[in-house]
Amino acid sequence: MLAVIKTGGKQYRVKEGDVLSVEKLEASPGKTVTFEQVLLIEDEGRILVGNPYVEKATVNGEVMEVYKDDKVTVFKKKRRKGYRRTRGHRQMLTKIKIAGIYPERIVTRTEKKIEKVKKTEEKPAAGTARTPARKSPAKKAAPSVEKMEKPQAKRAPRKPKKAENKE
């Protein structure tokens, strides 16, 4: 079974038993992490593609360690200006071992109650009718161009062309 998950703004292709490093998660070593942003699941030729995520799909993983990545050096310079800046950065990462891929998660009682509450909120209460939306008053049409009086432009009389001698 194969899955594509999204975490830390990146996508990862994972299988059960894979060990991967992702951007730091708020979990200590030994804890279980659940990824609910599953983009794709492939199981024995059957492919589930999410829109954008596969509904009710989860991927569980166990946190192995939290550590710092190698240093990345950032150097800025503007030539002939005497401007130089050097900075270093070490990204915090979490090493995770994928424990399981579940195409359909188990729904707990609390989730069932939340789903029922959402369904009742969507329907209007019995006996209350929705008021129709008010329409704005009709706009008057602009007068047509044919009916409008056009001001006459005043022109200077044309000057006669000078006769040129062609000899």
Span 52-104, pLDDT tens digits: 999 999 999 999 999 999 999 999 999 999 999 999 999 999 999 999 999 98
d(CA 120, CA 133): 23
How large is the C-alpha radius of gyration of the chain?
A: 35
Report field, pTM of the whole predicted structure over 0.75: no
d(CA 24, CA 69): 11
3-state secondary structure of 62: strand
**Cα torsion 23, 28, 30, 36: sign:** negative
Beta-bridge mates of residue 7: 10
pLDDT band at residue 123 using 50, 70 and 90 as cut-offs: low
